[in-house]
Structure 1
Amino acid sequence: MAGVLEKRNKILSLMRRLTLDEGSFTIADIAHQMDIPRSTAQDWINRLIEDECIVISSPGKGREATRYIARTALPQTICKRIFSTCDGDLVEIYHECMSSGCAAFCKHHHGRAGGVLTDVRRDGTLLREMGRIGSVDAAVGISPLPAVGVVAIRQEGDQIVQTIRSFGGPAYSLTEMMSRAEGVLSVETHRNGTIVEGDVYTKALRRLLIGIDDTDSREDGATFALAYALLQRLGRCEGVMPISHKVAMLYPGISEKTAGNSCSLIELAAGEDAISGIIKQAVAFVAGESASPEWGIAIRTGLAEQEGLRAFGEQARQERVTIGDAEALAQETGIHLIGGRGVIGALAAVSLQGCSDEILLNPDHPFNP
């Protein structure tokens, strides 16, 4: 299904470009530019006519070929990526938008609708929505009602299915755009009057947190840069979805610090069977690129909150913490620590995941995550 959607998107994109640039196109144009047989191009044109994506602009006469145009020059999609991670019945859905305005719109309306979502946050153009497996009814429609909401989440084998109920612009996004987002396997929609409801299928991935610290020296390197480079590297692996890169400032009164005593966190999503390989790559990369022998990594998988983690992060913002403290907490929570003294800051980075920028960047800011 994913391969068919990708092919459809490429052909439809070409048709829209030809409509804008040339005014119309023929079967031969599509066959030539897509490097496919004319019969295959004809099949796609017939299918897209049935889907009301293209129309005949001038019927063929004699040797003159039939010409077609795309119905709209609107962007194919503003939805860049949609994917999900799960941990038992806990699910986090990620929707990266090409527009910060649209991301803000969805955050506002999804949050108001409630439904099965327990927390809705926006980080730039990335919408992060936490919820649980189940269904909760939510009314959508004309203001003052919200325009869109997630009313159900279920798991089918290795897939997460979110059911979205929408009205107006969000209904257009659901029917015309979401299927084109990276990470979406398929979208099935049905209309009931002015309300459109659809099931969006994505892989059930696992969230992986990697905290990193003490990779630099006083003369060379920067942990934030190394962490970001690692996220970029891992993000190029098949099936891996980068989520975020964060920097956190810890207690500044540490004599061993190289500068301001900051640590870094990267988040990504991947299939369960890929995680061990990702960890090996991360360790090898950090060990090879670090300017300090004291580099450290902390690795956590899953979504569920773990007792003691937040308290450790708060402590690391306020005072010196020992390796023994970090190792004891890691053993209790199942977090993997690898490396030297840097495991302290690495674990602190993991423990502060989800905190606001004010908390992450100012150790004196009240700790109210």
Structure 2
Amino acid sequence: MRELELDHPYTVPYKRICAVCDPYNEVAEIIEYTNCYGGAAWAKYHYSHSPLILDIRVIGNTIRYLVKAGYSNLELKPSTSAAGIESVIINGDHVSITYAGLGGGGVGATMCRACAEGVISYDVTESGGSRSAKGTISVPRMERVIIGIDDTDTKYEGATWTLCHNIANSLDSADKTYLSQALVQLFPVPEKTQNCVSTVIEFGCTNNNAKETLLQEFKKALLKYSVSNETGMVAITSFDPVDTYEYSKICRSQKVTRDFALEYAKQNNIEVLLDGNGVIGALAALAWVARPDESIIMEAEI
């Protein structure tokens, strides 16, 4: 029987950690890609008691912590609140996050997160056993770039959501990170291909150059691979695109004209990169970024 050899038996590195910030550096969303959901779910429960935490969501293999920037005093208690986020400091183009935990929570707070992709630097204490441990990681400050797309297919071939995912996946990099996709159910109009669904793609970008490169490369790929002449693509940089919800609500309840959609985009400073008839659904998708479970339900509200 083969003898098992483990290089790091007490470290389960997170795949990636990102920090998306609001324009005023007051709030951030820490997005952690997990290699072990059981451990991440444990952290999710215990971190919920941290004073800086505003909200926690699970999307696919990621856990998202909406946090206030600043320091907090953690009162760690075994079994009930054994780990947490102690501070989130946004400084220029970096975000420093300090985690703390007891026992196994301290292991997660230190090397498990320090070894994640996206971490620029780290400072950790010893952890494991009954120790109390801390770890501070530094990751790039990102802003949320949201892309809405619709009508890349015809009644004979194609599927918008698959094309968008494959494009986004191929453009994923350290300075423009593919964060999520959601399919958005629209009002079924006669012009639909079949299910009348648009797509919203979420990226985190570290700077304006990364954003512009992303949008131009995404547009170029759509022009290359779309089989429709009516493709629509729009984009907005926004931490929370709640202002686009009213338009989306209209588009999900009745037929909307292309002229109405283009005028809405103009009035709300939304960049239109491809202005085919699909721009109607592309705009309606923006409000549902990172909400893949709700976006497919017509009656859902943000």
TM-score (norm 1): 0.74
Selected match of 1:201 from 117, 138, 163: 138
Q: Quote how far apart the aligned CAs of 1:356 are.
A: 5.4
Q: Tell me how far apart the structure 1 counterparts of residues 266 and 136 of structure 2 sit (CA, whole Å).
A: 40
Indicate which of 239, 250, 260 corresponds to 1:325. 260
Partner of 2:169: 232
CA RMSD of aligned residues (A): 2.2
Aligned pair partner of 2:149 in 209, 212, 215: 212
Structure with bigger RCO (C-alpha 8 Å, 6+ apart): 2
Q: Does 1:360 align with 2:285?
A: no
**Comparing 188-197 and 287-296, the one that deviates more:** 188-197
2:21 to 77, 86, 96: 86
Distance 1:127 1:353 in 2: 15
Q: Deviations over 1:90-146 (max 9, x none)?
A: 2111100012222322222222x13212111111220111223222333222123x2
**SS at structure 2 position matched to 1:360:** coil
Cα displacement (A) at 1:232: 1.2
> Quick one: which amino acid aligns to residue 368 of structure 1?
E
Contact 2:119/2:139 (8 A) holds in 1: yes
More helix by share: 1
Match of 1:338 among 253, 273, 282: 273
**For the Cα contact (< 8 Å) 2:96–2:138, is it kept in 1?**
yes
Please give the alpha-carbon distance, in whole angstroms, between the structure 2 residues aligned to 1:325 and 1:139: 53
Mapped partners of 2:191, 2:232: distance in 1 = 14
Runs of 4+ in structure 1 deviating by more than 4 angstroms, as ranges, are: 190-193
Matched residues in 2 for 1:240 and 1:75: separation?
A: 31
1:182 is paired with a residue of what secondary structure?
coil
Matches of 1:344 and 1:151, distance apart in 2: 43
State the one-letter code of the partner of 1:208: V
- Superposition pairs of residues 1-369 of structure 1, within 5 angstroms: 20=4, 73-74=8-9, 76-87=11-22, 88-89=24-25, 90-111=27-48, 113-144=49-80, 146-190=81-125, 194-235=131-172, 237-252=173-188, 254-272=189-207, 273-307=209-243, 309-339=244-274, 340-355=276-291, 357=293, 359-363=294-298, 365=299, 367-369=300-302
2-side partners of 1:268 and 1:305: how far apart? 14
Aligned partner of 1:322: which letter?
T
SS at match of 1:203: strand
Deviation at 1:229, TM superposition (A): 1.1
8 Å CA contact 2:149, 2:232 repeated in 1: yes
Flag the structure with larger Rg: 1
User: What code does the residue aligned with 2:60 have?
Assistant: G
Tell me, in whole angstroms, the C-alpha distance in 2 between the residues paired with 1:114 and 1:333.
36
CA contact (8 A) 1:209 1:301 kept: yes
Q: How many angstroms does 1:75 deviate by?
A: 6.0
Shift of the alpha carbon at 1:76?
4.1
| Percent identity between the two aligned chains | 26
Taking a change above 3 Å as real, the CA distance of residues 280 and 74 of structure 1, as seen in their structure-2 partners, is: same
In structure 2, do the counterparts of structure 1 residues 301 and 214 end up closer, same or farther at CA, with 3 Å as the change threshold?
same
SS of 1:361's partner is: coil
| Secondary structure, aligned partner of 1:241 | strand
Contact 1:104 1:122 in 2 (8 A): no
Deviations 1:260-280 (A, max 9, x none): 101111112122121111111
